[in-house]
Amino acid sequence: MTLKNIPTKASQEYRNFPMVPRVVYGKGSFNTLGDILMSKRKHSEAPMIYLVDDVFENTDLLNRIPKIFCDQIILISAEDEPKTQQVDALVSMLKENYNELPSGIIGIGGGTLLDLAKAVAIMLTNKGGAAEYQGWDLVKKQPIYHVGIPTISGTGAEVSRTTVLMGPEKKLGINSDYTTFDQVLLDPDLTVGVPKEQWFYTGMDCFIHCVESLNGTFLNAFSKSYGEKSLELCKEVFLEDIDESESREKLMMASWHGGMSIAYSQVGVAHAMSYGLGYVLGVKHGIGNCLVFQFLEEFYPEGVVLFNNMLKKHKIVLPKGVCSNLTESEMDTMITVALGMEPLWENALGENWKSIITAQKLKAIYQKI
Amino acid sequence: MTLKNIPTKASQEYRNFPMVPRVVYGKGSFNTLGDILMSKRKHSEAPMIYLVDDVFENTDLLNRIPKIFCDQIILISAEDEPKTQQVDALVSMLKENYNELPSGIIGIGGGTLLDLAKAVAIMLTNKGGAAEYQGWDLVKKQPIYHVGIPTISGTGAEVSRTTVLMGPEKKLGINSDYTTFDQVLLDPDLTVGVPKEQWFYTGMDCFIHCVESLNGTFLNAFSKSYGEKSLELCKEVFLEDIDESESREKLMMASWHGGMSIAYSQVGVAHAMSYGLGYVLGVKHGIGNCLVFQFLEEFYPEGVVLFNNMLKKHKIVLPKGVCSNLTESEMDTMITVALGMEPLWENALGENWKSIITAQKLKAIYQKI
C-alpha cells in the first residue's frame, strides 16, 4: 500500500486549519437541534438522516430528535470500529431510498457514530468507495451538511478533520478540510449514564493524545495552549474529587480542546500502536490506547505515572494477555500497521524515527500486552 | 436611544456561536496570505482591499502584501477609535472606485483595523449606514469575505462576533453572526516592534476581559475553560520572565482564547465604564480599561491586585486627572453611556444590577480617574 500526501512537520506548519464554524454548548442544548436544522432543510423531500448509537434504543433521546417530513433515524451499534464497507452500505441505502440527497447527516454518539456521520456525508457527494479516500486530502467535493453531537467525551472527533475507518487494507482516517463538521452541539447532559469503563477508556483517549501532542516535535504555541488546557481538565476529572455534573462538563471541554490541539500537532506512539491492535484484533480505540500506553514509560515517563494513578483511583483493571495468542503473521501485520503511521512516529520521535523505533522493539511491547 | 435584541443571560444561554472557520497560526505564516486569497478571488476586476494600520507605512510589510490585479492597500490611522462615518466613507469610496464588489476585505492591524475591516465587509452588502446596525443581530445579509490579521495582541477582535464603533449617538458594536471573520491569520512575528505602552494596554484589554468574564454571572463551562487558559497565559506574559519571542506567541494565544471565552459570557464593569470614557473623551479602549480597572477592587479584588503587580513590573504609570476637567453635562453623558451597556452590568452584577450600581457610584469612580 502506498500513501500520498502524508503530512510532515514541515507540510503542516502553516496549515490553514478548518475550525467547526458553529458550536452550541450547554446542558439541555439538545433541545435547540430542531431550530438549528430547520434553516438547513433544502425541502421536504430532502431528509435529515440521524445516525444514532443503538444504546439509545428505547430511550427518551429518540423522542427528542426533531424528526419531521421524511427524516430517518438509523440506529447503529458502536460495538465495532467503523468500517469503510459500512459507510458504503449506508450511502447506497440512502441513495436507493431517496430521490434527493439528504439535507444533512447528524451523528449522535461516540467517536464511532461521529466518524460514520462524517464519512457518510463525504461519500454522498464523492464518487467511489470510502476506502479510496483513506489518507490525506483526497476528498475533492463539498460533503453534505453534517452535524456532530457527542454523547461520550474524549475522542475529539467532534472537532477534528479526520474520520478514522477500518478499511480492507488499512485502518486510517479520511483526513481532509471537508471532513470537519459544519455544526457541533455539545450537551453535557447527553453523557449521563455512560458506563464507567467506557467513560474511563474514552477519557483516556483524550488524556493520552494530549500527552502525545504536548511531547511531540510538531507542536507549536497554538496547539500547545489547547493541549495544556485539555490536560489540566483531564487531571481535574480523573484525579480530583469533583461533582459529577461539573466533571461531565469539564470532560466535554477537555475533549474539545484536546481535538483542537491536533491542529498543528499529532498523536504519537500509543495511537500508532493502538491502530495495530485495532486492525488485527478489533480492539477498540480507547482501550487500545490504554493497553499500549501503560508500557510506554520510556517515551512518556510523566504521563505514564499520571495514567497509573488514574487507573488506581478509578479501580480500573486492564485486561491481560491480549496479544498472547497471536500468530507470527498476525504480529507482523500489527507491527506493519503501526509502523505505517509515519506522521505519528515523526511527531513522537523526530525525523530520524526509523533509527529509534524498530519492529523488534514494537514486538517486545506488544508481547507485554 | 432605544436598543433592540439586547442579550441577556437567558437569551444567550444556547447561542449557536459562530467560530472563525479557518485559521492559520505560525511565525512567518503571513507569507501564506497570497495562496489563501487566491482561491477567494472572484475575478480580476473584483479586488482584494487591504486596510492596514498606517504605522506600517514605509515598512517591509507593505511589500509583503500579495497585491495583484486592481487590489488596493488603504493605510488608516489607529490613533482614534473606529467610527461609523469612517466605515460609511470607506464603503462609498470602494463603491465609486470599482464597478464590482471587492473579492475580500483584509484588516491588518490592531483592534481598530480589524473592526473596520469587519464593518466595511458588512456595509458593502447591507443597505444604509453603519450606525443603523449598532446593536445585536441587526445585520441581514452575508458580508463580503473578510480576513483578520492582528499585528498587536489583546483585543480578541480576531475571533469575536462584534465590531465596536463610535457612532453619532453611541459607542456600540455591530454584534452579529455575520461579523465574525471568514479567515484569521495569526503570525506572532507581526507583533515585533509594538511600542511598550501599547503592548501593555492592549494586553490588559485581554487580561481585564478575562477577569470580567470569569467573575461574571453569564459564564458556563465552555467559556470558563477558554477564559482560564487566557488568564493563565496573561499571567505568564506579564508577571513571569519569559523569552520575548515566546511571550509574543503566548500573548497572541491569550487574545485568541480570551476572545473565545466571550462566546457564552460577557465583559463587565471596566468595559462598561471604559465605553463612557471612550465616547466622551475619545480615550482609547485599552488604556480606558486600565484607567477604570485600577479603581474596581470592590468588584474584582484579586484581579486588581494582579493588575497592580503588572503595572509595577513593567513600570507603567497611568495618567492622572483624566476626568478632572469634565463639565457636569459631560460627566452625565459618560455615566449614561456606561449604564447603557446593560448586558455588561447584568453579567457583572446579576439581574438586579440596577439596585447595586447607581449614577452616583459611577461618578465617584470616574472622579478618581
Average confidence (pLDDT) over A299-303: 98
> What is the pLDDT at residue A169?
85
Of A43-47, A190-194, B4-8, B355-359, the poorest mean pLDDT is in B4-8
How far is A175 from B244, CA to CA, in rounded Å? 35
How far is A346 from A266, CA to CA, in rounded Å? 9
Q: Which residue of A has its CA nearest to B37?
A: A16
CB contact under 8 A, A225 and B257: yes
Which of A25, A159, A161 should be substituted to probe chain B, the one whose Cβ sees the most B Cβ atoms within 10 Å?
A: A25
- Residues in chain B closer than 8 A to A31 (CB atoms): 14
- Residues in chain A closer than 8 A to B145 (CB atoms): none
For A185, the 3-state DSSP assignment is: strand
Q: For residue B246, what is its C-alpha cell?
A: 515566546
- Write the CB contacts of A153 (distance below 8 Å, at least 6 apart in sequence): A191, A202, A203, A206, A248, A251, A252, A254, A255
CA atoms within 13 A on the CB side of B228: 17
- Residues in chain A closer than 8 A to B12 (CB atoms): none
Q: Is residue B332 pLDDT above 60, yes or no?
A: yes
Q: Which residues pair with B194 in a beta bridge?
A: none
CB contact under 8 A, A26 and B264: yes
Could you please report the per-residue DSSP string of A60-126? HHHHHS---TT-EEEEE--SS--BHHHHHHHHHHHHHH-SS--SEEEEEESHHHHHHHHHHHHHTTS
Å between B252 CA and nearest CA of chain A: 9
Interface of A with B (CB under 8 A): 13-26, 28-29, 31-32, 36, 183, 186, 188, 220-222, 225, 228-229, 233, 246, 249-250, 252-253, 256-257, 263-264
Rounded to the nearest 10 degrees, the angle between the axes of helix A285-293 and helix A301-313 is: 120
Single-letter amino acid code for the residue at B348 = A
Position B2 confidence tier, pLDDT thresholds 50, 70, 90:
low
Length of chain A: 369
Q: Which residue of B has its CA nearest to A233?
A: B225
Average confidence (pLDDT) over A247-253: 98
How far is B233 from A75, CA to CA, in rounded Å? 44
Position B4 confidence tier, pLDDT thresholds 50, 70, 90:
confident
Cell 458504503 belongs to A88
- Write the CB contacts of A310 (distance below 8 Å, at least 6 apart in sequence): A200, A204, A207, A238, A239, A316
Pick from B221, B253, B263: CB nearest A221: B253
Q: Which residue of A has its CA nearest to B254?
A: A225
How far is A325 from A363, CA to CA, in rounded Å? 13
Residues B300 and B212: beta-carbon distance below 8 Å: yes
CB contact under 8 A, B24 and A36: no
CB contact under 8 A, A253 and B222: yes
CB contact under 8 A, B16 and A26: no
Neighbours of A339 (CB within 10 A): 19
- The average confidence (pLDDT) of chain A is 96
CB contact under 8 A, B221 and A257: no
Pick from B19, B28, B32: CB nearest A21: B19
Q: State the distance between the two ends of chain B, measured CA to CA, in whole angstroms.
A: 27
- Residues in chain A closer than 8 A to B19 (CB atoms): 19-23
pLDDT digits (tens, 9 = 90+) for B264-319: 999 999 999 999 999 999 999 999 999 999 999 999 999 999 999 999 999 999 99
How far is A134 from A119, CA to CA, in rounded Å? 10
CB contact under 8 A, B225 and A250: yes
Single-letter amino acid code for the residue at B29 = S
> What is the pLDDT at residue A302?
98
* Chain mean position to CA B58: 26
> What is the pLDDT at residue B3?
74
Q: Is residue A1 pLDDT above 70, yes or no?
A: no
Residues A57 and A217: beta-carbon distance below 8 Å: no
Which of B9, B11, B12, B14 should be substituted to probe chain A, the one whose Cβ sees the most A Cβ atoms within 10 Å?
A: B14
> What is the pLDDT at residue B299?
97
How much of chain A exceeds pLDDT 70, in percent? 99
Neighbours of A93 (CB within 10 A): 14
Q: Is residue B6 pLDDT above 90, yes or no?
A: no
Torsion angle of the four alpha carbons B125, B130, B135, B140, in this order, in degrees rounded to the nearest 10: -10
Q: Nearest 5 degrees, angle CA B195-CA B245-CA B200? A: 35
- Write the CB contacts of B172 (distance below 8 Å, at least 6 apart in sequence): B3, B134, B135, B164, B165, B275
Q: Is residue A349 pLDDT above 70, yes or no?
A: yes
How far is B258 from B271, CA to CA, in rounded Å? 14
Residues B210 and B258: beta-carbon distance below 8 Å: yes
Average confidence (pLDDT) over A12-33: 97
Q: Is residue A2 pLDDT above 70, yes or no?
A: no
Pick from A19, A186, A229: CB nearest B21: A19
> What is the pLDDT at residue B305?
98
ipTM score for this prediction = 0.96
> Taking Cα atoms as reference points, which of A86, A118, A93 lies closest to residue A20?
A118
How far is B235 from B191, CA to CA, in rounded Å? 19
Q: Which residue of B has its CA nearest to A25?
A: B14
Pick from B23, B26, B221: CB nearest A220: B26
Q: For residue B86, what is its C-alpha cell?
A: 469612517
Residue scoring higher pLDDT (B248 or A9): B248
- Exposure of A266 by Cβ count < 10 A (0-12 exposed, 13-18 middle, 19+ buried)? buried
With left for phi above 0 and alpha for psi between -120 and 50, is residue B280 left, alpha or beta? alpha
- DSSP 3-state helix, strand, coil percentages of chain B (rounded to 5)? 50, 10, 40
Q: For residue A297, what is its C-alpha cell?
A: 514509560
Cell 475553560 belongs to B225
Which of A229, A237, A250, A256 should be substituted to probe chain B, the one whose Cβ sees the most B Cβ atoms within 10 Å?
A: A229
Cell 452579529 belongs to B176
For A51, the 3-state DSSP assignment is: strand
How far is A277 from A283, CA to CA, in rounded Å? 6
- Residues in chain A closer than 8 A to B222 (CB atoms): 25-26, 186, 253, 256
**Maximum distance among all Cα pairs of chain A, rounded to whole angstroms:** 59
Interface of B with A (CB under 8 A): 13-26, 28-29, 31-32, 36, 183, 186, 188, 220-222, 225, 228-229, 233, 246, 249-250, 252-253, 256-257, 263-264
Q: For residue B156, what is its C-alpha cell?
A: 480578541
CB contact under 8 A, B188 and A15: no
Walk me through the domains of chain B, giving residue ranges and CATH numbers.
22-191 (3.40.50.1970), 196-368 (1.20.1090.10)
Q: Is residue A3 pLDDT above 80, yes or no?
A: no
Q: Which residue of A has its CA nearest to B247?
A: A221
CB contact under 8 A, B253 and A20: no
Buried b (16+ CB within 10 A) or exposed e, B110-144: bbbbbbbbbbbbbbbebeebbbebbbbebbeeebb
- Residues in chain B closer than 8 A to A32 (CB atoms): 14, 16
Pick from A18, A25, A256: CB nearest B21: A18
Å between A135 CA and nearest CA of chain B: 21
3-state secondary structure A215-261: CCCCCCHHHHHHHHHHHHHHHHHHHCCCCHHHHHHHHHHHHHHHHHH
Q: Is residue A338 pLDDT above 70, yes or no?
A: yes
- Residues in chain A closer than 8 A to B28 (CB atoms): 14
CB contact under 8 A, B225 and A253: yes
Q: Is residue B321 pLDDT above 90, yes or no?
A: yes
Size of interface A-B (CB pairs under 8 A): 103
Neighbours of A67 (CB within 10 A): 15
**What order of strands is seen across the sheet that includes strand B135-136?**
B135-136, B171-175, B164-166
CB contact under 8 A, B21 and A16: no
Q: Which residue of A has its CA nearest to B233?
A: A225
Residues A16 and B39: beta-carbon distance below 8 Å: no
How far is B278 from B273, CA to CA, in rounded Å? 9
**What order of strands is seen across the sheet that includes strand A164-166?**
A135-136, A171-175, A164-166
How far is B13 from A178, CA to CA, in rounded Å? 29
> What is the pLDDT at residue A5?
84
How far is B67 from B197, CA to CA, in rounded Å? 32
CB contact under 8 A, A19 and B24: no
CA atoms within 13 A on the CB side of B178: 20
Residues A105 and A120: beta-carbon distance below 8 Å: yes
> What is the pLDDT at residue A74?
98
Average confidence (pLDDT) over B13-25: 97
CB contact under 8 A, B28 and A17: no
pLDDT digits (tens, 9 = 90+) for B264-278: 999 999 999 999 999
Position B170 confidence tier, pLDDT thresholds 50, 70, 90:
confident
CB contact under 8 A, A221 and B15: no
CB contact under 8 A, A233 and B225: yes
> What is the pLDDT at residue B99?
94
